[in-house]
Structure 1
Amino acid sequence: MPPGITLAADAPGLSAANTGFMLICSALVMLMTPGLAFFYGGMVRVKSTLNMLMMCFISLGIVTVLWVLYGFSLAFGTDSGSLIGWSAEYVGLSGIGINQLWDGYSIPVYVFAVFQLMFAIITPALISGALADRVKFTAWALFVALWATVVYFPVAHWVWGSGGWLFEMGVIDFAGGTAVHINAGAAALGVILVIGKRVGFGRDPMRPHSLPLVMLGAGLLWFGWFGFNAGSWLGNDDGVGAVMFVNTQVATAAAMLAWLAYEKIRHGSLTTLGAASGAVAGLVAITPSGGSASPLGAIAIGAVAGLLCAMAVGLKYRFGFDDSLDVVGVHLVGGVVGSLLVGFFATGGVQSDARGLFYGGGFEQLGKQAVGVFAVLAYSLVVSAILALVLDRTIGMRVGEDDEISGIDQVEHAETAYDFSGAGGGAGSRRTASVPAGTAAAAPQTRKVDA
């Protein structure tokens, strides 16, 4: 019998409450991918809106099928050399019975598999924000399939799989600071270094076309993140999930306030885009750390993440890499901050007895966290860049320059996000309203960053 499966007769017993709780959490995490699509979709120019939505949504289709076929087996099957898993019983989810419970828990294997599936879906979708406006949709879809197979599934095994080398080392990643956010942020950096900048980057205005969509997306992400974080304890019997729920709210609020304070001091304004981005930075940072910190620690973690991520989004102008929607500045930096701060703020009294530097634990846990951070960062960065290079040299990753300028929505999807042809027009009206793609009228706001 592969690891991760116990018969109901040998397990603590099926808990209807925990099973229902985890199914709800799985649905909340699924909602985060459409939420991410709205968040990213509002941040791009009008002419790229649908493409951005589709780059997120396609992950729901591709990764779901791959997860059932072999992804769950690679991530959570029998360990092989601490690097990858494999169990024939998991292939196609065909060898799993409804009376089988997940390893030592009171939920069915099917429930655990679908919960982890939602993590696998959103992780490559996060990468898409760095590539806005310029990537062929078919090339992106193929990249998602390849990246999930050779990067996400193995890294998930390292971090969470029984026998995975980071798991066995004692690296703490409650809900995905390394496996999800550092993984996606490093991948984004690797790909954009290969495919290059958008036409007009640093010269033309590239403002968000719909801040209401951005705020809607951020709200859906915040809501869904409670399932993402609190659900990662796989039950609600001992209060750890409740602590994580509270810390998720607390850190997100602190990060949003810290980002806004930085904006006010540095740029003199408090923007809606800053509030949304700060909230996401806090959500990212508390993801690995919230199960080991106190609520006061969560405030500190959120505040540090909000400040550092607000500062980091301007690095793309300083170093000349075109991270379209700040995936590197928010997810990579936020994931690194949250993962490393476990080594400072772990109390030893929540998810484990590991203590951070501020709680008398010395540097031991911080050292473990640093190994996890830089191992995942390096692996994802290098392999993602190689995948992008291979695709670019074979089928081509980018649309043509003229197509990019005219609008990737029309070129790749034969659609536009908004039809203004009849706006305000009655039967006798001779005028039609239109908003040229990419103009100031179409997109009146932008993030203020340090150039």
Structure 2
Amino acid sequence: MAPAITLAAETELSAANTGFMLICSALVMLMTPGLAFFYGGMVRVKSTLNMLMMSFISLGIITILWVLFGFSLAFGDSHGGLIGWTSDYVGLSGVGNAELWDIYNIPIYVFAVFQLMFAIITPALISGALADRVKFSAWALFITLWAVIVYFPVAHWVWAPSGGWAFDLGVIDFAGGTAVHINAGAAALGVILVIGKRVGFKKDPMRPHSLPLVMLGAGLLWFGWFGFNAGSWLGNDDGVGALMFVNTQVATAAAMLSWLLYEKIRHGAFTTLGAASGAVAGLVAITPSGGAVSPVGAIAVGAIAGLLCAMAVGLKYKLGYDDSLDVVGVHLVGGIVGSLLVGFFASGKGQSEVEGLFYGGGLTQFWKQCAGVGAVLAYSLVVSALLAFVLDKTIGMRVSEDDEVAGIDQAEHAETAYDFSGAGGGAARTTAPAPAADTASKKVDA
């Protein structure tokens, strides 16, 4: 998935690489439930189930779209560098079991399912910005349209070896800084500018209801991200995937520490929410850059991203946009930081011989990164805002104010996350037991 491919062409299927990629695909799939827990713990109790469902529905909708035509649009033969199409990929009907992907020694089926997991989690990332106020039916329709109009074309630009324009330009995005994180973060910003703020924004307390759930979700994301990143080299033949694995761990640790240090200096405490958010910021930033930088470079990328993302999350209060769970501050900003820092920290000893400014390569790669970042950000922001506007003016994007205040879980799903009605209270346990005779008579009467 990186633009400068050094892996030699193989003519035979590799059982080792195929097995590795299937495991990586499963790890990336786990990230979507992990994201659901991460987001679910960050909202108030009355929105917990809705937040979980906004991630889980993506597993259903995007899977079907991908098999029917999404894979063909994203990775089929290029048309003008903007969109793909290969009829054999429609419904995956013309793909043989052992037919290999491009120059790699893994089956097309394996590459398709690995990329499917990326397509699933990307729209799910957007949901965190819209917590507490969006109709579930409108959300389902939005991600259906967004995947077709935004994600599939952008994935083609960035990763399609058949002629995606960003791929051919030499934009380095190892595993999704532009196609996933900037794409989702810009979309989140576009939608929230259209649908507006939550009731009580900047007035009512909107604290996370379950920080243990947040930490569980962050842990699952961190775990799954090794498949997300290391798997994006599509094999283990030259050690680049191993470099990415190491850099994923290193950058995440650096970002978490950087975020916590900023938080302590700025707010006087090390919080669990800060630790979880810092870790995710590091994961986001190393995603595009980890195959190009050294482990020391990964420390720099993570530390810079942790600091800048921590600073960015407060902008919503200053600028007045209601990004509920900081998708813009973490994913958009983290994706931009990680993508642009390739132009400074690329060592020339990873996925390609491209060198950044600090390694004597000048600013050539930096400007290429700027082109990729700018194009994806602008396209996703504008198209996502237009989609949200059309849906809002037709079927309506938001629940009613009464439903929002009472709780979107009950209004949209007829359920609540926690039911304590059957739990015994302290008073009941201290009540004296009835005499044996009375108890027996009550049983007979019953």
The aligned residue for residue 101 of structure 1 is 100
Q: Using the alignment, how far apart are the partners of 2:414 and 2:422 within structure 1?
A: 19
The aligned residue for residue 172 of structure 2 is 172
The aligned residue for residue 181 of structure 2 is 181
| Aligned positions of 1:57-206 closer than 5 A | 57-161=56-160, 162-206=162-206
Q: Using the alignment, how far apart are the partners of 2:385 and 2:369 within structure 1?
A: 24
Structure 1 residue 12 displacement after superposition:
2.7
Matched, 1:34 2:33: yes
Q: Using the alignment, how far apart are the partners of 2:430 and 2:125 within structure 1?
A: 44
The aligned residue for residue 237 of structure 1 is 237
Q: Using the alignment, how far apart are the partners of 1:424 and 1:305 within structure 2?
A: 47
Q: Using the alignment, how far apart are the partners of 1:353 and 1:85 within structure 2?
A: 28
1:305 and 1:338 in contact (8 A); partners too: yes
CA deviation string 1:227-252 (max 9, x = no partner): 00000000001000000000000000
The aligned residue for residue 379 of structure 2 is 379
Structure 1 residue 99 displacement after superposition:
2.3
Q: Using the alignment, how far apart are the partners of 2:95 and 2:36 within structure 1?
A: 33
Structure 1 residue 300 displacement after superposition:
0.2
Task: After the TM superposition, list the runs of 4 or more consecutive aligned residues in structure 1 that deviate by more than 6 angstroms.
Answer: none
CA deviation string 1:131-160 (max 9, x = no partner): 000000000000010000000000000000
Amino acid at match of 2:191: V
Indicate how the Cα distance of structure 1 residues 70 and 278 shifts in structure 2: closer, same or farther if over 3 A, else same.
same
1:178 and 1:288 in contact (8 A); partners too: yes
Greater alpha carbon shift after TM alignment, 422-431 vs 121-130? 422-431
Structure 1 residue 426 displacement after superposition:
8.0
The aligned residue for residue 434 of structure 1 is none
Q: Using the alignment, how far apart are the partners of 1:24 and 1:113 within structure 2?
A: 14
Indicate how the Cα distance of structure 1 residues 207 and 430 shifts in structure 2: closer, same or farther if over 3 A, else same.
farther
The aligned residue for residue 446 of structure 1 is none
Structure 1 residue 309 displacement after superposition:
0.2
CA deviation string 1:99-135 (max 9, x = no partner): 2100010100000000000000000000000000000
CA deviation string 1:330-386 (max 9, x = no partner): 000000000000000001111011110000000100000000001000000000000
CA deviation string 1:254-306 (max 9, x = no partner): 00000000000001100000000000000000000000000000000000000
Q: Using the alignment, how far apart are the partners of 1:368 and 1:85 within structure 2?
A: 22
Q: Using the alignment, how far apart are the partners of 2:66 and 2:252 within structure 1?
A: 30
Q: Using the alignment, how far apart are the partners of 2:85 and 2:257 within structure 1?
A: 44
Amino acid at match of 2:298: A
1:80 and 1:86 in contact (8 A); partners too: yes
The aligned residue for residue 46 of structure 2 is 47
Q: Using the alignment, how far apart are the partners of 1:176 and 1:119 within structure 2?
A: 8
Q: Using the alignment, how far apart are the partners of 1:11 and 1:283 within structure 2?
A: 31
Q: Using the alignment, how far apart are the partners of 1:430 and 1:58 within structure 2?
A: 45
| Aligned positions of 1:9-28 closer than 5 A | 11-28=10-27
Greater alpha carbon shift after TM alignment, 264-273 vs 414-423? 414-423
The aligned residue for residue 5 of structure 2 is none
Which sections of structure 2, spanning at least 5 residues, go unmatched? 1-8, 432-446
Structure 1 residue 164 displacement after superposition:
0.5
The aligned residue for residue 355 of structure 2 is 355
CA deviation string 1:426-448 (max 9, x = no partner): 894699xxxxxxxxxxxxxxxxx
Q: Using the alignment, how far apart are the partners of 2:92 and 2:11 within structure 1?
A: 23
Which sections of structure 1, spanning at least 5 residues, go unmatched? 1-9, 432-451
The aligned residue for residue 264 of structure 2 is 264
Q: Using the alignment, how far apart are the partners of 2:427 and 2:45 within structure 1?
A: 27
The aligned residue for residue 4 of structure 2 is none
For the residue of structure 2 that corresponds to 1:238, the secondary structure is coil
Q: Using the alignment, how far apart are the partners of 1:427 and 1:414 within structure 2?
A: 30
CA deviation string 1:156-183 (max 9, x = no partner): 0000012000000000000000000000
Q: Using the alignment, how far apart are the partners of 1:83 and 1:214 within structure 2?
A: 38
* TM-score (normalizing by structure 2): 0.93
Matched, 1:415 2:415: yes
Structure 1 residue 424 displacement after superposition:
3.4
CA deviation string 1:199-246 (max 9, x = no partner): 000000000000000000000000000000000000001000000000
The aligned residue for residue 441 of structure 2 is none
Hey, which of these two has a bigger chunk of helix by percent? 2
For the residue of structure 1 that corresponds to 2:100, the secondary structure is strand
Q: Using the alignment, how far apart are the partners of 1:171 and 1:389 within structure 2?
A: 31
The aligned residue for residue 55 of structure 2 is 56
1:11 and 1:101 in contact (8 A); partners too: no
The aligned residue for residue 367 of structure 2 is 367
Q: Using the alignment, how far apart are the partners of 2:22 and 2:349 within structure 1?
A: 27
| Aligned positions of 1:325-344 closer than 5 A | 325-344=325-344
For the residue of structure 2 that corresponds to 1:188, the secondary structure is helix
Q: Using the alignment, how far apart are the partners of 1:260 and 1:13 within structure 2?
A: 48
Amino acid at match of 1:263: E
Alignment RMSD: 1.2
Q: Using the alignment, how far apart are the partners of 1:51 and 1:305 within structure 2?
A: 30
Q: Using the alignment, how far apart are the partners of 2:96 and 2:393 within structure 1?
A: 44
